[in-house]
């Protein structure tokens, strides 16, 4: 039970406050994806992406244990992170929804590592799974970046629970 300061005794800050404050940290939006043992593409919307190390080039994404995509991710040797641009909000919503065939009608191909690459992504990192670490109700997947590309464009942004776009400057 949280006290007046929002602290839940013994367990850190209360979840609602934690979500609200973390939501004030603006992020990009990406689709993280793997090819499953079934040979099919699996992917979900993430904003937990961060770059970790330059030497070697490491990145991470955190995936909730409850996500259906968690199983395929845990079993995969490679994953991709596909950064979305400001025109791709619908793609973000689809990959965060219960849509049964998320890749249907989406232009994608298997990348050099075999994991799905979204053709129109603003940036793509193809990763070899380097470490996996359970952390609370998520698993942190750290990837060694084997291939990377980007194009000109403007990112889709997520801030305080809403999609945003950069203002023209
Ligand atoms: C902007 C945004 C960012 C998200 N970031 C993450 C994330 O980093 N990790 C995660 O596990 N879920 C994240 N989610 C939630 C998943 O995309 C969502 O739960 C999805 O339905 C999971 O699909 P699955 O159950 O088929 O794996 C995010 C959702 C949105 C809208």
Cα distance from N-terminal residue to C-terminal residue, the chain: 46
pLDDT (tens digit, 9 = 90+) per residue, 94-113? 999 998 899 999 999 999 99
Mutate which of 31, 43, 63, 67 for ligand 1 pocket (most atoms within 8 A of beta carbon): 67
pTM: 0.95
Domains of the chain with bracketed CATH? 27-160 (2.30.110.10)
Q: How far apart are CA 151 and CA 38, in angstroms?
A: 31
- The pLDDT assigned to 100 comes to 85
Mutate which of 41, 46, 86, 93 for ligand 1 pocket (most atoms within 8 A of beta carbon): 46
- The pLDDT assigned to 61 comes to 99
* CB 79 within 8 Å of CB 35: no
Regions of the chain with pLDDT less than 70:
1-10
């Amino acid at each position: 039970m949280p006290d007046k300061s929002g602290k839940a005794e013994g367990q850190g800050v209360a979840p609602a406050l934690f979500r609200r404050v973390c939501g004030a940290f603006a992020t990009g939006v990406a689709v993280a994806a793997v090819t499953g043992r079934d040979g099919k593409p699996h992917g979900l919307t993430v904003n937990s992406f961060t770059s970790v190390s330059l030497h070697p080039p490491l990145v991470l994404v955190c995936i909730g244990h409850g996500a259906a995509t968690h199983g395929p991710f845990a079993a995969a040797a490679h994953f991709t992170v596909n950064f979305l641009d400001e025109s791709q909000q619908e793609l973000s919503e689809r990959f965060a929804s219960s849509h049964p065939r998320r890749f249907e009608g989406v232009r994608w191909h298997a990348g050099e590592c075999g994991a799905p690459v979204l053709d129109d992504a603003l940036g793509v990192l193809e990763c070899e799974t380097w470490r996996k670490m359970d952390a609370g109700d998520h698993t942190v997947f750290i990837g060694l970046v084997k291939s990377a590309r980007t194009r000109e464009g403007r990112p889709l942004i997520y801030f305080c629970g809403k999609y945003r776009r950069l203002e023209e400057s």
